Structure 1
Amino acid sequence: MIVAVANTKGGVGKTTLAVQLSLARALAGRDVWLIDGDRQGTAMAAIAARSEAEKQPGIACAQYADGPQIRAQVQQQLGKWDDIIIDVGGRDSTALRAALILADTLLVPFAPRSYDVWALDDMAELVDDARSVRDGLRAFAVMNQADPGPLSTDNLDAIAAVTEVPQLIYLPTPLRRRKAFSNAGGAGLSVTELSPRDPKAIAEINALVKRLF
């Protein structure tokens, strides 16, 4: 499966999710290729930290700067991998558009803040563009960096706004603001590998993985 983790809005935690999804699949025995399509190279740096620590399983990771590179490399290597995770976004780019054309599934993380929710309209337009070129793209939105507690007004308002974007299916598997996610991601670790363990963070990422795959 090819999964694009993308949003034209920066700061929503897409790289953290892309790394966590890649590691979850690798720890489940899948051959995973993580593509860093963001010029900042944060995903690449996380996987480099994992490699330097000699943590197993290893993750294959490559960074490509633009859409033509991503498209060419994925088309050439598609048969080598069980799962390909593409981390793109922060802005509308050729890399993001190429990822949407290639992907089976799009995951759009958003934070429960007004500007983040408004940006989903931009992603909806890109989904429409991708679907005009190819059929079968599944597009999901997931709340990341959610406020603590199920009755947070910001959380509930954001969920209501997302359900009004017909191009995206809201996944009821929010990930809350937890140090475990940032600490694990910076070290190239899954939250399941982090010590001390955070059972709530582990349960949240496992629920998301189950819904996506």
Structure 2
Amino acid sequence: MILTVGNTKGGVGKTTLAVQIAIFRALQGRDVWLIDGDRQGTAASAISIRTEAKQSPGIACAQYADGPTLRGQIQQQKNKWDDIIIDAGGRDSTALRASLILSDILLVPFAPRSYDVWALDDMAKLIDEARSVRDGLNCFAVMNQADPGLHSSDNSEAASAVSEVKQFQYLDMPIRRRKAFSNASGAGLSVAEMPIKDAKACKELEKLIGSLFNIK
């Protein structure tokens, strides 16, 4: 399975989510390759911290911010891995466009802010372009950094707006704004590996991954 976590809008927590998904899948016994398609290299830095700490399981990670290189490397090595997780975006880049052509699943995280929702129009256009040259790209949108309150008007308004974008299937399983996610990713860990676990964060991540990978 090749899954891209991507958005042309920065600041939506895509790298944190990509790192969390990659590590969680490795904890489930999958051979995982995490690809950092962002020039900032934040995902690669997180995995480097994990490697230096000798945390098990180890996560293979490579950084390819150039679309042709990313495409060529994945085409050569995709059969070596159970899952390939790509962190791409923050802008419209060649790496993001190449990822859309290669992936089975696109997960688009968005924050419950009006300008984040408006920016999804750019992703919708890229999806239409990708689907014009390939079949089988499944696209999902998930609210990331959602307001903690169960009855947040910002959450509900953003969810309503995104559910009307035909290029995405909206996953009604928000990842709420919790320190556990940023703290864990900064240490190269899954929220499930933290010494003091946030049970709610673990449950949210597990539910999302179960939906994306059809885990029963």
The interval holding the TM-score normalised by the smaller chain is: over 0.9
Q: What amino acid is aligned across from residue 75 of structure 1 in structure 2?
A: Q
Cα deviation, 1:6-37, whole Å, max 9, x if unaligned, reads: 00000000000000000011000000000000
Percentage of identical aligned residues: 72
Correspondence for 1:205: 205
Q: Which amino acid aligns with 2:7?
A: N
> Alpha-carbon deviation of 1:150?
2.2
| Separation (CA, whole Å) in 1 of partners of 2:180 and 2:114 | 25
SS at match of 1:144: strand
2:76 aligned partner: 76
What is the TM-score normalised by the length of structure 2?
A: 0.98
* Distance across 2 between alignment mates of 1:30 and 1:47: 16
The equivalent residue for 1:29 is 29
Equivalent pairs, count:
213
Superimposed CA distance per residue, residues 83-106 of structure 1 (whole angstroms, 9 cap, x where no aligned partner): 000000000010000000000000
In structure 2, the partner of 1:138 is 138
Distance 1:163 1:201 in 2: 24
Q: Distance in 1 between matches of 2:173 and 2:191?
A: 16
- The separation in 2 between residues aligned to 1:150 and 1:110, in whole angstroms, is 18
For 2:23 and 2:196, the matched residues in 1 are separated by: 18
For residue 119 of structure 1, give the secondary structure of its aligned residue in structure 2: helix
Counting only pairs closer than 5 Å after superposition, residues 8-157 of structure 1 correspond to structure 2 as: 8-157=8-157
Mapped to 2, the partners of 1:201 and 1:212 lie a distance apart of: 17
Give CA deviations for 1:114-148 in whole Å, capped at 9, x if unaligned.
11000111100000000001000000000000001
Give distance in 2, aligned partners of 1:130 and 1:149.
36
User: Gaps (5+ residues) in structure 1?
Assistant: none
Q: Which runs of 4+ in 1 moved over 4 A?
A: none
Q: Letter of the aligned partner of 1:157 in structure 2?
A: E
